[in-house]
Amino acid sequence: MLANHLVILPILVPLFAALLQLLPWGENPQFYRRIIGLVASSLTLILAVLLVISVQDEILVYALGSWQAPYGIVLVADKLSALMVLLTAVLALPVLIFACHGEDNLGSHFQALYQFQVLGIMGAFLTGDLFNLFVFFEILLISSYALLMHGGGKLKLRATLHYVVLNLTGSALFLISLGVLYGITGTLNMADMAGKVALLQGDDAAIARAGAMLLFVVFALKAALLPLYFWLPQAYASTTGTVAALFAIMTKVGIYAIIRVFTMIFGADAGEAENLAQGWLWWLGLFTILVGALGVLGSRDLRLVIAYLVLVSVGTMLTTMSLGHSDAIGSMLFYLVHSTLVTAALFLLADLIAEQRGKTASRIVKGRKMAQHNLLGGLFFLASITVIGIPPLSGFVSKLFILEAARTGAQVAWLWPLILGATFLMLIALSRAGSRMFWHTFDGKPNENTHPKWQHTSVILLLVGAVGITVFASPISDYTNAVAQQLATPTDYISSVLPTGGSDD
């Protein structure tokens, strides 16, 4: 029973931390809010590690108020949920350390909003029913609206307005889809719905498929899948590095939802709704890779380049998922961990570079030499070769796994050229950015702006994590493959959540 309580603790810790941070704290409230945030993020990381250890041999189910599924609210931790919770915690701590050295002073209640954002992300990964997935989506979205505006400015306001309008539309579609699915199945518990959907036939099955496709549109919007990607580049490029780095996990929430819903509820055992999203994911994912790669090449601002790198990673992951077998999903999850850490490091690094370059900021043009030129240049070089996929770093390993997962001639003919072509365009774009920012600088005195060592340390920690994926590629790959095997047998999840067989018809 003690292990089951681990499921709710990654949600409770940021919740109570955020509530504490909203209290008045005397003459120096920011100091206490920072301490609370750092302690909470550290504790969440420890809990996430314990959760990953605890799910090795069982799926943990936490029934709130002891009301069992499908009638009560349940939180569920399997290998996939635990992996995503750990990745979020690993990301959140160094990003918060970075923010605590100046950036959190740009707006009020940043620390509390940060914890609410983490709360929403953790809840989305751990919830066992679709309505509470909607609730946690709204928590993280409301927090993200304020965080995107952190620091103010016209560009942030415009990007945030687009982001808000699109996500409010997505939320409305989410509620409509939930109404459709509840009306036809009588449940919103994911494990219970999986059993009900498999039995549907005729018109009922058609209605369920319509509800599922509405869900797919909502999740594709959250994940920034083509053609619903256009909110992402400007939103990520306009906000601060801290917020963009935390948002590196945001698209993964949409990807997680697609994985969870379209492998368990509308997967191989869904009867007439079998593998509903697979064909869509293949083509939309391929075009997302293409658009992202062209965006990387065409961008003239470093922050925008990194935003399009996120788009390339989204397309790569969802295309790989569409291959349908366990090896593909395992390689996709390995790539997910790599891309989240390295793009977060790049967003933080872009902030440091922009501030030290002065007026030229993050534009890819010739500018003044930076005060910490060599250090930032070295970090940029390491991050760039990692995200591009230069051997033997994690980008190369993860892409190699993905290419190996393409088994048929058609898959090889489409996937290999696009991924290798995107890699080549990324190499050109980041080489151009590095040469213009670090080699072709104006003569004269360097810019005097410097940054605290802890901000550099935050970037280094994320890059060490990305490099560490290479060093520990074998055990991490074993774990992601175990996640894929568990997803391939959803009956284990269903029987853990519904030990008595589910609700009565």
pLDDT tens per residue, range 348-367: 999 889 888 878 888 888 87
Q: Band of the pLDDT at 154, cuts 50, 70, 90?
A: confident
Q: Band of the pLDDT at 216, cuts 50, 70, 90?
A: very high
Read off the pLDDT of residues 433-474 as tens digits, 9 standing for 90 and up.
988 888 877 776 766 677 778 888 999 999 998 888 988 989
pLDDT at 220: 93
Please give the span between the terminal C-alpha atoms of the chain, in angstroms, as a whole number: 30
In this structure, of 1-10, 46-55, 262-271, the range with the lowest mean pLDDT score is: 1-10
| CA-closest candidate to residue 489, choices 173, 81, 194 | 194
Q: Band of the pLDDT at 3, cuts 50, 70, 90?
A: low
SS3 state of residue 326: helix
Q: Report DSSP state, residue 368.
A: P
Phi, psi of 498 (to 5 degrees): -120, 70
Q: Band of the pLDDT at 167, cuts 50, 70, 90?
A: confident
- Average pLDDT of the chain is 88
In this structure, of 336-345, 445-454, 474-483, the range with the lowest mean pLDDT score is: 445-454
Phi, psi of 76 (to 5 degrees): -130, 130
In this structure, of 116-120, 155-159, 221-225, the range with the lowest mean pLDDT score is: 155-159
Looking at residues 252-258, what average pLDDT do you find? 93
> What is the total count of domains within the chain?
1
Say yes or no to pLDDT of 251 above 70: yes
Q: How far apart are CA 67 and CA 73, in angstroms?
A: 7
Q: How far apart are CA 306 and CA 309, in angstroms?
A: 5
Mark residue 494 as left, alpha or beta (left: phi above 0; alpha: psi -120 to 50; beta: remaining): alpha
Domain hosting residue 451, numbered range: 278-488
Read off the pLDDT of residues 367-393 as tens digits, 9 standing for 90 and up.
778 878 888 889 999 999 999 988 888
Whether 261 and 193 have beta carbons less than 8 Å apart is answered as no
Looking at residues 192-216, what average pLDDT do you find? 90
Q: Which amino acid is at 176?
A: I
Structural element, H or E, at residue 77: strand 74-77
| CA-closest candidate to residue 170, choices 207, 119, 106, 224 | 224
Whether 100 and 34 have beta carbons less than 8 Å apart is answered as yes
Say yes or no to pLDDT of 147 above 80: yes
Paired with 61 in beta bridges are 76
Q: Which residues contact 32 (CB under 8 A, 6 or more apart)?
A: 25, 26
Q: How far apart are CA 20 and CA 96, in angstroms?
A: 17
Domain-located, residue 374? yes
Q: How far apart are CA 229 and CA 314, in angstroms?
A: 10
DSSP state string for 444-494: SPPP-----HHHHHHHHHHHHHHHHHHHTHHHHHHHHHHHHHHHH-HHHHH
Helices (runs of H) and strands (runs of E) counted in the chain: 21, 2
414 CB-contact burial (10 Å; exposed 0-12 / middle 13-18 / buried 19+): middle
Domain-located, residue 143? no
Q: Report DSSP state, residue 261.
A: I
**pLDDT over 70 for what percent of the chain?**
97
pLDDT at 324: 82
Q: Band of the pLDDT at 123, cuts 50, 70, 90?
A: very high
Looking at residues 215-234, what average pLDDT do you find? 89
Say yes or no to pLDDT of 201 above 60: yes
Task: Describe the crossing of helices 394-405 and 326-357 by its angle, rounded to 10 degrees.
Answer: 150
Q: How far apart are CA 476 and CA 195, in angstroms?
A: 32
| Lookup: tokens for 488 | 């391939």
Whether 179 and 208 have beta carbons less than 8 Å apart is answered as no
Looking at residues 127-131, what average pLDDT do you find? 92
pLDDT at 444: 66
pLDDT at 446: 67
Q: Band of the pLDDT at 159, cuts 50, 70, 90?
A: confident
Residue entry with tokens 């001639």? 409
pLDDT at 504: 46
Alpha carbon separation from 88 to 129, 204, 251 (Å, rounded): 20, 38, 12
Domain-located, residue 472? yes
Locate all alpha helices (DSSP H) within 186-325, ordered by sequence: 190-198, 202-223, 232-238, 241-246, 250-260, 278-298, 302-321
| Lookup: tokens for 309 | 């790198």
Looking at residues 13-38, what average pLDDT do you find? 89
Q: How far apart are CA 479 and CA 473, in angstroms?
A: 10
Domain-located, residue 377? yes
Cβ atoms within 10 Å of 371's Cβ, excluding its own: 17
Say yes or no to pLDDT of 501 above 80: no
pLDDT at 447: 66
Domain-located, residue 473? yes
Domain-located, residue 433? yes
| Lookup: tokens for 241 | 């590095």
In this structure, of 28-32, 299-303, 478-482, the range with the lowest mean pLDDT score is: 28-32
Say yes or no to pLDDT of 499 above 80: no
Looking at residues 167-192, what average pLDDT do you find? 92
Q: Band of the pLDDT at 505, cuts 50, 70, 90?
A: very low
| Lookup: tokens for 459 | 């970037």
Domain-located, residue 355? yes
Cβ atoms within 10 Å of 417's Cβ, excluding its own: 11
pLDDT at 402: 92
Note the maximum CA span of the chain: 78
Domain-located, residue 404? yes
Q: Which residue did the predictor score with more confidence, 302 or 153?
A: 302
**pLDDT over 90 for what percent of the chain?**
54
